[in-house]
Amino acid sequence: MIIMIRKKKFLRMTALACTFVLALTAVIAVSKAAGKDAVSTSADGNWGLSFQQAGQPPVANATADYLKQFDAYYAEDTTEKVLYLTFDAGYENGYTAKILDALKKHKVPAAFFLVGNYLETNPELVKRMVKEGHIVGNHTFHHPDMSQISTMESFSKEIGDLEKLYKKTTGENLRKFYRPPQGKYSEKNLEMAKKLGYHTIFWSLAYVDWYESQQPSREEAFKKLIPRVHPGAIILLHSTSKTNAEILDELLTKWEDLGYTFKSLDQLVES
């Protein structure tokens, strides 16, 4: 019962967050069309993207140079056809094993940003991620709106509690990659994450894959994920998605056929 309550709460939070992101993206696109400067130097709030041209990086609501001062990223500035594949997971929906199978088949390294509930309820899957060479990142313990957390004490507790549980679960130290829950952040958050030694990882490609009861079709998924892929993309998918599990093998093949290769987040921050 506790797990089901947490799952439903996470779904509500995720749906709300994604609504914010989509709304912000629309605002950016409208401003761009009106000839206004849609890109701010810094932008506290909700991560948002506006896709202007197929095969090209989107316009984000914070610049790469601005984010770089906080060891934060949303894509690699490159013409090389390289991709960074990441998954967010607040709970297990029965699809992660199939996703891991596809990654193993294609020898693709990925990063899984997990919350405390996932580590508590799915330790064997977490161990498999680690064993197969994937990065497990910090998505905080409780998945709150971190932009509303203003003290280092509270911020570091959300981050630190997940680190402790990961260490207890795997016997290893958690890698220093952080993704803000709901895509919500503030400059203060970015500063605090950096002080804790973390790289903050946003994304430059995602699609609506998070509604459990309204999963996109195969055709809808490819319509978003193929034309919008671009050199240096950090891709966000949800491992709770049935569609993602069903199409990932074919999707990876399609990206590979376009000439793309895959790197790990380690290689991103070292570049």
Question: What is the DSSP track for 169-229?
Answer: HHSSPPPSEE--GGGEE-HHHHHHHHHTTPEEE--SB--S---TTSPPPHHHHHHHHTTT-
Given 37, 238, 257, 266, the catalytic residue? 238
Q: How many CB atoms within 10 Å of residue 119?
A: 21
Structure tokens at 269: 């921050």
- C-alpha pair distances (Å), 23 with each of 46, 85, 136, 146, 198: 9, 24, 29, 19, 28
Three-state DSSP class for residue 233: strand
Respond yes or no: is residue 88 known to be catalytic: yes
Respond yes or no: is residue 238 known to be catalytic: yes
Could you give phi then psi for residue 90, rounded to 5 degrees?
-100, -15
Given 88, 139, 143, 199, the catalytic residue? 88
Q: Give residues with Cβ within 8 angstroms of 223, minimum separation 6.
A: none
Could you give phi then psi for residue 250, rounded to 5 degrees?
-70, -40
Q: How many CB atoms within 10 Å of residue 101?
A: 14
246, 215 in Cβ contact below 8 A?
no
Question: What is the DSSP track for 115-129?
Answer: -HHHHHH-HHHHHHH
Q: Known catalytic residues?
A: 88, 238
